[in-house]
Every structure is written in structure tokens, then in C-alpha cells.
Amino acid sequence: MLAEIGIVFLLFVVGLDCPIAKLRSVGRKALVIVFSDAFGTFGLGFLVGQIIGISPLDSLFIALAISVTSTVVL
């Protein structure tokens, strides 16, 4: 639990150190990259689920889980 609190504080300090002007300058490029990554991994996860014979609902769940976690890692 202490490690999780430490990570939250670390992310908070990093966020304070990042100037808003710099975020705005890379904003559009970052949005394009994030959306292409999220939708790309979502589509790929769904497609692989369908190819291996998982039901569409389960494929959607797996695709969403992969999409969310891959974006967080990046």
C-alpha cells in the first residue's frame, strides 16, 4: 500500500513539473497517436478473438482490456 501511495505522489510531482505550454504544443500529435494506438489494439484484439473462435462478447471484453492496458503502458 505504501508503494502505491509513493507512485501516486511521484506521478503528481511529475505532473507539476510539466508545463502546460509544452503539453499544448504536442497535444494534437499525441491525440492522433493515442487514438490510433487504442483503436488499433482494440481492433486487433477483437480480430484475434474472432479468429480463435471466442464469442463476440468475450472478444470485445478481451479487446477492451488489451486496449486499455496497452495505452497505459505506453
Q: What is the predicted pLDDT for the residue at 20?
A: 72
- Is residue 74 over pLDDT 60? no
Instruction: Return d(Cα 33, Cα 23) in angstroms, integer.
Output: 14
The answer to whether the beta carbons of residues 50 and 59 sit under 8 Å apart is: yes
- Residue percentage of the chain with pLDDT more than 70: 93
Q: What is the predicted pLDDT for the residue at 9?
A: 83
Residue type, 18: C
Q: What is the predicted pLDDT for the residue at 47?
A: 95
